[in-house]
Amino acid sequence: MPVMGLGHFGYFVRNLEVMKDFWGNFMGMTLTKSSEGAAFYSADPQGVDHEIAIMEGRPDADDANLIQQISLRVASLDDVRGFKRRAIEKGYKIDRLVTHASAIGLYFRDPEGNRVETFWLTGLPSWAMIGVPINIDRPDAEVMADVKRVWEVSRKVEMGVTPKGELKEAIRQLREGLPVTAAATVPA
């Protein structure tokens, strides 16, 4: 089960606004996903929702902690399951396993502690910056039912817009495993 290619590269920045200007204005990429502490950019938003991910978290210029993650696309949900199994067998630390609605991602540490993600695209477009824990050790239909539940909220986020108000609250509730309240739902 080889990876299909580089999905995106994420790294930590000191000044998110300066780096947003760099990727958006200087490099000419499209802001596709945004939160209060992160921004995702794509050169082709219709083809791939992001290729660059920048996150606040680099404390100073001398800090060696630059890589946020190296993300690699795989062909199927079974491939994500296979990477999970093999990571456990090798004793690699698993950070999290989540659905982003548009993808399911397994985040783990390589032998030197760098964060790696293997992800499978679900086919459901989502501009929300969201990661909801998911159990992939179940039948595909059950896994996809969870993904679609997350997508029903995340699909309401517009490209490049940071969710606010009730939509932001609904996303928080999903991330924390809480039921999404009726007051937090937003019509499409």
Neighbours of 81 (CB within 10 A): 19
> What is the per-residue pLDDT across 41-73, written as a single tens digit (0 to 9) for each?
999 999 889 999 999 988 776 766 678 888 888
Query: What is the CATH classification number for the domain harbouring 127?
Result: 3.10.180.10
Q: Considering the entire predicted model, what is its pTM?
A: 0.80
Q: Which residues of 96-128 are buried (b: 16+ CB within 10 A; e: fewer)?
A: ebbbbbbbbbbbbeeeeeebbbbbbbbebebbb
Number of domains in the chain: 1
Among candidates 41, 37, 30, 35, which has minimal Cα distance to 15?
37
> What is the per-residue pLDDT across 162-181, written as a single tens digit (0 to 9) for each?
999 999 999 999 999 998 88
N-term to C-term CA, the chain: 37
> What is the per-residue pLDDT across 112-141, written as a single tens digit (0 to 9) for each?
677 889 999 999 999 999 999 999 999 999
Q: 33, 39 in Cβ contact below 8 A? A: yes
DSSP state of 5: E
Segments forming the whole domain that contains residue 178: 5-184
